[in-house]
Homo-oligomer: A and B are copies of this chain.
Amino acid sequence: MAETFELVVCTTCRFPGADPQATPLTQRDGQRLSDALTAAGIAHRRQECLSACTHGCAVVLRGAGLWTYVQGGLDPDRNLADLIEMYRAYGATDDGIVPWRERPEIIRKNTIARIPPFEV
């Protein structure tokens, strides 16, 4: 089980197709995803822009001694439960690698990058 890990959520992300003029920052899809996670009791870190703007909504799962996963394509209106499931599965690993078949489909299909653990 991961001892120290966190979920980082981009609060400025837009889901593809969103009208850039129609959404003030407080209503951005990423902000709504973050708010929904908070309402569900999922602790996370908010970050303005993860530079993954073409793959919103984007989040990062990372932790000490764990693989880091950058995930995109998350729709706050459809994928909240999938993200929470992945968050819990990630936290239950020793290395950050959730077995492929245990990853929700939206996660499997929208991995932007994975980064091996940092070893000083």
Interface residue ranges, A against B (CB under 8 Å): 4, 6, 8, 45, 47, 49-52, 58, 60, 62-64, 68-70, 111-116, 118, 120
User: How many whole Å from A89's CB to the nearest CB in chain B?
Assistant: 17
Given contacts A70-B70, A70-B113, list 11 more A-B pairs with CB under 8 A: A50-B113, A50-B114, A50-B115, A51-B111, A51-B113, A52-B112, A58-B113, A62-B118, A68-B68, A68-B115, A113-B113
- Tell me the bound Cα distance from A118 to B60 in angstroms: 11
What residues of B have a CB within 8 angstroms of the CB of A6 in the complex? 118
What residues of B have a CB within 8 angstroms of the CB of A120 in the complex? 4, 64
B118 touches A51 (CB 8 A): no
